[in-house]
């Protein structure tokens, strides 16, 4: 093997740059050449490909987003699109590919591997919704961004004695809501993995009121419903004044945390090692601080184990 390609695809996540840097530098360290494919699978089809040197990935480890840009590309879901991609890879003499992205991006990596082109998937998404890894690149940064917002909103909630309903991202996963809610001392956390009980939520608000508490923070994961809809539902059950805050895309950007940079560096480097060992069709991940790899087929579309223990703890600590 002589040349390794790297691309980022799907939703961007802080730490993607650190992963690109790791792939490029680990490749060059091992005497290989590294090629950056710009704009995800769309750039692959169009041959938007350039050789990357050690210096090409300098000064990016601390930056959010992705220097290779990202894109969504429906054409790549077709066999014809994938063949066009493989032709481009052959044209540039690239032997193997590292795909940094989420579940959808891994489908593309799987399709390429099945057509004889070895790919490794590196999990990067703020949602932490990929199986085969305890953490995805970007989750820790998003968690801390959300937490910072909760802390700020809490100041206002306390000052004005109001209940705030904060909507956070996560797609179908509740990890951002759960972790940020637990760390932010939220009174109620709504996640798609656990059914909520409105009577219980109302009871908690009322018992809080009885002991003199006049403000409250409720975190709603976007996978449950919108914060606006939840506010309407709550209004039907209890007469309190609420304010809604939808955090939106601020959760996706920003300087990656130390944890995300280290995770991205380790995962990116392991992806190169696997390709050098002649392995394709795998994803890398972290479990109990060990870098592991899994068959991509066993990862795609599989739900991640939700931490029910942490959810229970959040309920206990917010009485």
The DSSP result for 97-139, as a single string, is EEEEE-HHHHHHHHHHHHTT--EEEEEB-TT---TT-S--BTH
Q: Are strands 216-221 and 188-190 parallel, antiparallel or unpaired?
A: parallel
Question: Is residue 125 a contact point for ligand ADP (CB under 6 A)?
Answer: yes
Q: Is the CB of 101 or the CB of 281 nearer to ligand ADP?
A: 101
Which of these segments, 6-14, 83-91, 209-217, 221-229, binds ligand ADP (CB under 6 A)?
6-14
Q: What are the residue numbers of the active site? A: 127
In sign, the C-alpha dihedral spanning 190, 193, 197, 198 is positive
Burial status of residue 286 (CB atoms within 10 A of its CB: 0-12, 13-18, 19 or more): buried
Q: Is the CB of 72 or the CB of 162 nearer to ligand ADP?
A: 72
Q: Give the shortest CB-101-to-ligand ADP separation in angstroms.
A: 4
252 known ligand binder:
yes
In the chain, what is the straight-line distance between the N-terminal and C-terminal CA atoms, in Å? Answer: 58
Q: From CA 56, how far away is CA 288, in angstroms rounded? A: 33
Q: Give the shortest CB-8-to-ligand ADP separation in angstroms.
A: 9
Question: Is residue 138 a contact point for ligand ADP (CB under 6 A)?
Answer: no
227 known ligand binder:
no
Q: Which of residues 68-97 bind ligand ADP (CB under 6 A)?
A: 72-73, 76-77
Q: Is the CB of 111 or the CB of 150 nearer to ligand ADP?
A: 111
Binding site residues, ligand ADP, CB under 6 A: 9-11, 41, 72-73, 76-77, 101-105, 107-108, 111, 125
């Amino acid at each position: 093997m002589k040349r390794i390609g790297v691309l980022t695809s799907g939703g961007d996540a802080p730490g993607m740059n650190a992963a690109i840097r790791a792939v490029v530098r680990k490749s060059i360290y091992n005497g290989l050449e590294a090629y950056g494919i710009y704009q995800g699978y769309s750039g692959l089809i169009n041959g938007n490909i350039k050789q990357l040197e050690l210096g090409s990935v300098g000064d990016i480890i601390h930056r959010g987003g992705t220097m290779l840009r990202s894109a969504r590309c429906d054409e790549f879901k077709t066999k014809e699109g994938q063949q066009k991609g493989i032709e481009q890879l052959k044209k540039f003499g690239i032997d193997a590919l590292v795909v940094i992205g989420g579940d959808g991006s891994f489908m593309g990596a799987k399709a390429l591997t099945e057509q004889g082109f070895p790919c490794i998937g590196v999990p990067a998404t703020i949602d932490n919704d990929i199986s085969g890894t305890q953490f995805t690149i970007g989750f820790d940064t998003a968690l801390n961004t959300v937490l910072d917002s909760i802390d700020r909103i809490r100041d206002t909630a306390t000052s004005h004695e109001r209940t705030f309903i904060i909507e956070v991202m996560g797609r179908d996963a509740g990890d951002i809501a759960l972790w940020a809610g637990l760390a932010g001392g939220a009174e109620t956390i709504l996640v798609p993995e656990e059914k909520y009980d409105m009577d219980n939520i109302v009871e908690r608000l009322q018992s809080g009121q009885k002991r003199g508490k006049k403000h409250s923070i409720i975190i709603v994961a976007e996978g449950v419903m919108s914060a606006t809809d939840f506010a309407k539902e709550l209004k039907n059950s209890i007469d309190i004044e609420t304010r809604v805050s939808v955090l939106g895309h601020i959760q996706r950007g920003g300087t990656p945390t130390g944890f995300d940079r280290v995770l991205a560096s380790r995962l990116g480097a392991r992806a190169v090692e696997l390709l050098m060992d002649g392995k394709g069709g795998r994803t890398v991940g972290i479990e109990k601080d060990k870098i592991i790899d899994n068959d991509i087929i066993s990862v795609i579309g599989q739900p991640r184990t939700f931490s029910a223990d942490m959810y229970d703890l959040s309920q206990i600590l917010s009485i």
